Structure 1
């Protein structure tokens, strides 16, 4: 399997190089040259497998440079039972109602879906770097959950130094402390005086500064890194298998999303042959993705802070991967579109591409009142406490699901204890942290507050990696 850039000008790479590269040198994102197809009889064989075994089967066609035995060992170490995750199923399904389920993705060490992919990515980094005798500097941006999951995956790994940028004052206290209370010597946190989009732009600018990138051997943990997306493909297959997908039953998935990574993983699963009926793209009031998929209006607005802060995004990096497919793999066309978007903040998607996307995707915007009402309703009628991001997904799924004959799976992306104040305000219940994080709010913190300025951030990172 080879990987090409969505902007068409960077060299094609193998899997190991893509894992370490993150962003392509032409500013694009790496995607596979082709999508492997999983035959229906293979799905029937997978129905009785463990999560780790399904993960090996799903990801194996995308991996080269790592032996089959080594890759299987890495995957099994990541998803071993007992192990890193606190549920034997890793991503268990919880039934809410007739034909309606939550896919719980928050049973990892930092209580968010990002653990599912980043625990694997940290081990891939370690394996590849040890084999090559290299070290890397990981630089990432977070709207709340990626940061703690990436830090947890990279902490204390001898060939990795990690710098995580988060928007100052725009993540929950639990999210911040999960990052800033980690005492490991290879972990650094930067609070940027700006939005998540500003943090993401700084990271992309650092990768596009090739001299800086090469001097520090930068690597990415955000979902611009293909391995992040790949690991998330697995739970779409696993959930489908649990609900009869191996016998042809098709499933609607509702995905709360800001950066389009998690829902793009669902798209990949569909392209491979998973029985996905509809992917429902659920946004909060920062609705660039909803507008783009409904009307072709991909235009950047002002980020509005919400009670679902991990989705407070107006530039959705992974959407470029979908555009690349919708425009037939025309890298030059995507490069021109993204250059125009960078210059003007607007991108008009063609009517034909919008129509093609609508065959799989539906999208809607959920406002703050709807989010709070959904938290309260799910507790009252389904005896389940959910976080605000999950509530966005549940609300959108209930609006746009195909019908009661098609199972609806909403992705539960975070534990409610990550957003206790918002959950309490909506439900009257203050969700407590699990035992392994019980003392989180009293742990000492360590981070730097920096301006939204590329030179300041680069100088800070450069000084600490000399």
Structure 2
């Protein structure tokens, strides 16, 4: 299995070579040279495997050079149900990613039952175990650099905590997370991590991270690696739960399902699209956006015109307050029939003009891709949150509410539809109280971070200042 860049000027690499390499040297993102294809019979044979066993089968397709026995130990030690104890009903199920059915056709795929109550735990715990075991072509020491809207940062810092040869530097947008998210990120900072609270938006933070990692000389000198959603290893780990959810949801392999995914950085959505290319019977993948709806407008019109970072709206589903989705380029490359030159041309146009438009022929491929989209606002989120509490006695976070709102209106009647729940509702007590009149409980056994002292460093929205701080932090002796 070889991996190539979406811009076509990077020599093919193996999975082991790109574990913590976000962008290729030509500025593109890594994708498989060809997606592995599975028959329905091969998928049927996966039924009955536990999550770790299924992770082995799927990950081995993308990482064939790793000894199968080594990969099995990695998956087994990462995906034990006791590591994901915060589901709605731990008495009835001991699954890593259980499904809660709201009614016969619509269910919640619970991805936020891990140690930081975020779907990011699923992929980042795997990456941390890979690094700790020295698998693949990883250096002996590394400082992992990332940008977060709250959840990913807490998950990364928890995953790499206690690994003596690893450090984490995390940028976050000051004042653009829920109070609970901010408390979790800043109060639980491990000794080997630092949090930079930047006076800007998430897009500002993400742009700084990409600029530092794209400066190959700087990144090599200071031992920097990526931890954000653009890592192909994270995408591969996310593909696993699409297969696992499908096999839980259908009676007969071959039946089609619909997945609804909160938009964000588009990594989760691209993982679902990749699963579809691998042969998983996905009828439709619905990408849900909030008021920052550049992806919705692109999927409807073929025009990609994200807001400038300074105009990104602050909403009540803050983890989706992203104007330029980092993984969008992967999907664009596929929609351009893997034309690397055209991909590079459009990404350059986006950089210089702030937008681009597909030709009618190119947009036709988007319309045939199996992706649909929807958008919702604060009032819609309140409506869905209240409805689920009144009708089903369950709470959902605002991002899941965005997904359910789009899913209700866009999923075909009679087709089983799974809405991805990417964060625990406990992180958003204000909007849930506003919608339901009740206080959402913190999961039993989980330590509430609110009220703890915050450990963060305030930074101006100044690239040079942030870069200098990261260099100094990375250069400290391990």
**TM-score by structure 2 length?**
0.94
How far, CA to CA, are the matches of 1:65 and 1:277 in structure 2?
32
Equivalent in 336, 344, 351 of residue 327 of structure 1: 336
- Return closer, same or farther for 1:132/1:249 CA change in 2, 3 Å cut-off: closer
Residues 1:393 and 2:399 aligned together: no
Which structure 2 segments of 5+ residues have no match?
88-93
Paired with 1:150 and 1:183, the residues of 2 have a C-alpha distance of: 10
Unaligned runs of 5+ in 1: none
Change (3 A) 1:129 1:242: closer
Q: Is the 8 A contact 1:102 1:412 kept in 2?
A: yes
Residue 16 of structure 2 corresponds to 16
Q: Which moved more, 1:44-53 or 1:439-448?
A: 439-448
Aligned position for 1:309: 318
**1:207/1:213 contact within 8 Å kept:** yes
Could you say what secondary structure the match of 2:271 adopts? helix
* Mapping of residues 250-399 of structure 1, within 5 Å: 250-301=256-307, 302-359=311-368, 360-399=370-409
Q: State the distance in 1 between where 2:230 and 2:25 align.
A: 12
Is residue 2:176 matched to residue 1:167? Answer: no
Aligned partners of 1:367, 1:183: CA distance in 2, in Å? 32
1:209-231 deviation per Cα after TM superposition (whole angstroms, max 9, x unaligned): 12211112221111110111111
Q: Relative to structure 1, is the Cα distance of residues 309 and 465 closer, same or farther in structure 2, using a 3 angstrom cutoff?
A: same
Measured on the aligned residues, the alpha-carbon RMSD in Å equals: 1.6
Is 1:407–2:413 an aligned residue pair? no
2:429 pairs with one of 420, 434, 441: 420
Q: How far apart are the structure 2 equivalents of 1:4 and 1:453?
A: 33
Residue 137 of structure 1: aligned partner: 143
| Residues 171-182 of structure 1 aligned to structure 2 (within 5 Å) | 171-182=177-188
Offset at 1:240?
0.9
Cα deviation digits, residues 426-453 of structure 1 (max 9, x gap): 1112113224443411322211111111
Is the 2:151–2:185 contact (alpha carbons within 8 Å) kept by the matching residues of 1? no
1:236 partnered with 2:245: no
Report SS of the residue matched to 2:415: coil
Kindly indicate whether residue 230 of structure 2 is the aligned counterpart of residue 224 of structure 1: yes
Between 1:193-202 and 1:36-45, the stretch displaced more is 36-45
Deviation of 1:369 (Å): 0.8
Distance in 1 (alpha carbons) for counterparts of 2:402 and 2:139: 44
Counting matched residue pairs gives 465
The TM-score, its normalising length taken from structure 1, stands at 0.96
Cα offsets for 1:10-37 (capped at 9, x unmatched): 2321112211212212221111111001
Q: The residue matched to 1:97 in structure 2 has which SS?
A: coil
C-alpha distance in structure 2 between counterparts of 1:430 and 1:413, whole Å? 20
Tell me the SS of whatever aligns to 2:285: strand
Asked if structure 2 preserves the Cα contact closer than 8 Å seen for 1:129 and 1:135, the reply is no
- Cα distance in 1 for partners of 2:136, 2:323 equals 38
- Determine if contact 1:140/1:203 at 8 Å carries over to the other structure: yes
What is the aligned counterpart of 2:201 among 195, 202, 205? Answer: 195
